[in-house]
Chains A and B, each alone.
Chain A
């Protein structure tokens, strides 16, 4: 079974530029998550999708960050314009929509390491 795919793996941009990250979840996984992991910290949820609908985007800086999952499969996270403090690893995760499974494990991709200069 293929895992969660993310691209690119690394990205270096100047501040005020735009950048986009792509995520392809595990086939059949209805739920998709984007996390931001700043160096030395644990991941923080930015946005959660259930199929193509947003479940939680309370911690997404909506003035500069946007995300979409138009067909309920792959997803794109965009930052426009980027700031220095956006330097982080952006992790995508997916899980089955089995609400009767309490342990509903999240499977993570390898992440995209963003450096903003």
Chain B
């Protein structure tokens, strides 16, 4: 079974500051993938970044980076130079690779990020 834990229900951050959203996970799969999605008030889930469990380097996509610490089972999302448009819900998700072809994502409960002008 897989479990994702996001311990920050809400965060307020000043515009242009960096922000770290926490995510810890638990799985028995030797190989897995970690995802971050953004969900604005419109409701659509927007893919941000992916980290494979065997990737040697932390993933980066523009202003998004993933601080992956495998031994601690954490996959925190870092957003640099935050913008007002970053205000949204953020979900961490995991996909196990043991059952190849079943690509179900297990999501955490999310963190609501609010950027203050």
Contact = CB atoms under 8 A, between A and B. Distances in A.
Contacts of A107: 47
Given A103-B33, A110-B43, A113-B43, A48 B102 contact: yes
Given A42-B91, A42-B93, A48-B102, A111 B43 contact: yes
A45 B52 contact: no
Contacts of B37: 108
Interface residues of A, number: 28
Given A91-B45, A93-B45, A110-B42, A44 B107 contact: yes
A39 to B, nearest CB: 11
27 contacts: A40-B109, A42-B4, A42-B91, A42-B93, A42-B107, A42-B109, A43-B45, A43-B105, A55-B101, A89-B43, A93-B45, A95-B103, A99-B100, A99-B101, A102-B50, A102-B52, A102-B97, A103-B33, A106-B103, A107-B47, A108-B44, A108-B46, A109-B44, A110-B42, A110-B43, A111-B43, A113-B43
A107 B35 CA distance: 12
Most buried by A among B4, B47, B50, B105: B105
